[in-house]
Chain A
């Protein structure tokens, strides 16, 4: 059993514990490499099935290829696909891209971080608790329809990795969130061996992290080993650049790289060329403390 096998076994175990203990369980799927590996691991855990809904928060600024890829896989794997959105903010133009042209200090100007708060954090919290409407993919027609199910989710599986960025290294496999989706880092219950926090007070929810021990390199090695389909944005299409981490179009920058396929990305990661560049360095909203503040308030 090699290292990837070991990581896979632990992730599968966590998935099954989550499925057992949370009747209202969902998984966040950002369409990125990590949560797509997560989706694959769910199919490993449940012998080819995905017995809970996948939730995607659509900021409306995701690159079109990501949305196409999302729906293609959802139809192919027969997923229960739920999409949530802060439709009001998008409609009212309360976003960073829509107010970018305004001068600094203008009262209507929305910063990158505020935009993340509105389109991701708020949309996520209100989609999970069912306060805002959810759209569900009709697998027969391929269209999204209003989901009559508005019950809150109590267990939320996410693809956070401990090595990705400082605050994520503080997560447990099962991390509780309070009624306001807030994360009390100092008062997390203990996690002994493989006994996780599976009891929760009404109104609270638990974030479940099957990928916590994986690194960026593990993710790519696993994608290669299992032949998992990924979006082409991760690969150099001839411009000499590629995306290393996927977010919203206006707030992400590609990295200089000529890696054109999974093998070349693995080689690049192993060569140490990217060793000194943080994985999320292309994510322009990541400030010193900003991201952690957002995470405490419920951002993923």
Chain B
């Protein structure tokens, strides 16, 4: 039998430059006997040769770049062992210019040591680090007040730093650190051995404080959160499994469970839990990168969140978040960025800066129209399509996001709350409808195979008289003649029948849109390619139509004589021939993988 692998914990050491982080780490390495043989001697020799006094910090300087600049530039990872467990130690750089490296390290740490210089006291960067650890979700924090030898190992001095920093952390809602420990890394006091010169301190050493941290409990008892990472069908060697792959971020799920997917509201039942070279399982919980086959094949895509029906996630296009910006160019309004949250990626815009948090004091700062580099801010953003997520009190992986500017991750944050958008009521209606939808005996996948394509809605929009009806007819005809199941839905027909009870003076645009979308939804459920044309419903209503039809693709074709940028999926001038227009729509459907 294999002896169980040793417990492992990743910790990050953060602190301003020159506060002695590298010395702390070097000491921990040397004291726990975790250095390769000869390393200590080699560094001592190198120091003697160059005339520099020996420092434990030199042990970590594996890179010439660092030695040249005298600062740790990246989250160097190394390992040390205690009797209790192995530690992956991430020595995050303290220099503000390397904040993104500090974040990369801290974002994957389970616990943190925040180093404060006893002589310098609490500075801007210590506050920023405290704030970031809190935002990044590091809950286990020990504060090491270093260089106590330079302040006469004074108890009152230490207690003052402790109480000031505790009240700062409290003011920003950060968890209270487990321990404040007075240390001197250079003389090795209170790191692995208790100091005999600070007898007033009776708490643990740094090493035993780390050993006292317990691993976070598994998240198996929380609601199920399974972001869809991919749908695999490899088809090689007769493997016809269609596997929904991903990692369970919280909760558990078992074979036979009914599961729902957000934002599409689709549902199915877990058939099998799939794995390679592993025993069969009937239940699986948080932490596992796994895959499922479903009893009913449904069209779902990456970025959807699989949950149980009883605890669905939030779905919206707007949310409020705390974030840090690291990009060279600022985060601005009226510009498109890419938002990545769990496995979802979607276009996003900055709508409002609610608050800029200033790290130089614990207070707030006046507003600015943008979020600049290294700024920490409370913002409201809006995504182009609705996404499924949680707020940070309900989830972690499903509440954390990054913003990509160009090719690089430029910022990241946590969602505090969903904000209302105009489609909220429709979305609620659709969710209730879809979760309780009575399915017939023919599945969507079976219809798709018969018709040769999935269902989709193509909406022609534009002013009265631009030729929407003519082109929609042409598209319907072309699709039908090439063997597709197409149907033209003219808004007038909905008005004549379904809307005939509406009293015009009292009817609202909202109700018109709702009825139109519900009719379209029935046709889509029948597996058709629906080509719609209506004067009553324009581009401004598309988001509402999408909210009511979350389970099928909705594409828009705007017909408008004049040029300019259209927010529709396709823009026609109305001058194109019917044949040409039909070809363009076919190409659009092909590019969205609706037609082959």
Q: Which residues of A contact B (CB under 8 A)?
A: 1-6, 8-10, 12-13, 16-17, 19-20, 43-49, 51, 78, 162-163, 166-167, 169-170, 172, 185-186, 188-195, 197, 199-201, 212-213, 215, 218, 221, 224-226, 275-278, 289, 292
Contacts of B78 on A, CB cut-off 8 Å?
Answer: 162-163, 169
Most-contacted residue by chain B among A13, A172, A193 (CB, 10 A):
A193
Which residues B29-55 have CB closer than 8 A to chain A? Answer: 36-38
Instruction: Decide: A12 and B289 in contact? CB cutoff 8 A.
Output: yes
For A201, the closest partner residue in chain B by CB is B407
Instruction: Decide: A276 and B38 in contact? CB cutoff 8 A.
Output: yes
CA distance A45 to B277 in the complex (A): 11
In whole Å, how far is B401's beta carbon from the nearest beta carbon of chain A? 8
For A263, the closest partner residue in chain B by CB is B2
B: number of interface residues (CB 8 Å):
66
Instruction: Decide: A185 and B65 in contact? CB cutoff 8 A.
Output: yes
Please name 12 further chain A to chain B contacts, defined as beta carbons within 8 Å, in addition to the given A191-B108, A191-B409, A199-B404, sorted by A numbering: A1-B287, A5-B288, A20-B229, A47-B239, A48-B239, A188-B101, A193-B136, A195-B340, A195-B401, A199-B408, A221-B2, A226-B277
Most-contacted residue by chain A among B100, B247, B277, B289 (CB, 10 A):
B289
Instruction: Decide: B407 and A199 in contact? CB cutoff 8 A.
Output: yes
- Contact partner, A292, options B63, B245, B397, B406, Cβ 8 Å: B63
Tally of A-B residue pairs with Cβ under 8 A? Answer: 166
B505 at the interface (CB under 8 A from A): no
Instruction: Decide: A276 and B397 in contact? CB cutoff 8 A.
Output: no
CA distance A143 to B330 in the complex (A): 55
Contacts of A10 on B, CB cut-off 8 Å?
Answer: 289
Complex interface: stretch among B3-11, B19-27, B523-531, B547-555: B3-11
13 sample A-B contacts, Cβ–Cβ < 8 Å, listed by A number:
A3-B7, A13-B289, A16-B245, A44-B275, A47-B239, A163-B79, A170-B74, A188-B104, A193-B400, A195-B400, A199-B404, A275-B36, A278-B36
CA distance A113 to B537 in the complex (A): 70
- Contact partner, B277, options A5, A13, A44, A289, Cβ 8 Å: A44
Instruction: Decide: B397 and A46 in contact? CB cutoff 8 A.
Output: no
B438 at the interface (CB under 8 A from A): no
For B413, the closest partner residue in chain A by CB is A192
B254 at the interface (CB under 8 A from A): no
Instruction: Decide: B5 and A3 in contact? CB cutoff 8 A.
Output: yes
Instruction: Decide: A4 and B287 in contact? CB cutoff 8 A.
Output: no
In whole Å, how far is A184's beta carbon from the nearest beta carbon of chain B? 10
In whole Å, how far is A279's beta carbon from the nearest beta carbon of chain B? 9
Q: A1-B287, A19-B230 are in contact. Are A197 and B277 (CB under 8 A)?
A: no
Closest 10 CB pairs of A and B: A276-B37, A166-B62, A190-B100, A12-B289, A3-B5, A192-B412, A162-B77, A189-B408, A195-B402, A191-B104
CA distance A78 to B404 in the complex (A): 37
Instruction: Decide: A46 and B234 in contact? CB cutoff 8 A.
Output: yes
CA distance A78 to B211 in the complex (A): 46
- Contact partner, B289, options A16, A20, A200, A277, Cβ 8 Å: A16
Contacts of B15 on A, CB cut-off 8 Å?
Answer: none
B329 at the interface (CB under 8 A from A): no
Contacts of B481 on A, CB cut-off 8 Å?
Answer: none
Instruction: Decide: A6 and B4 in contact? CB cutoff 8 A.
Output: no
B302 at the interface (CB under 8 A from A): yes
CA distance A162 to B89 in the complex (A): 11
Instruction: Decide: A167 and B407 in contact? CB cutoff 8 A.
Output: no
Contacts of B232 on A, CB cut-off 8 Å?
Answer: 46-47
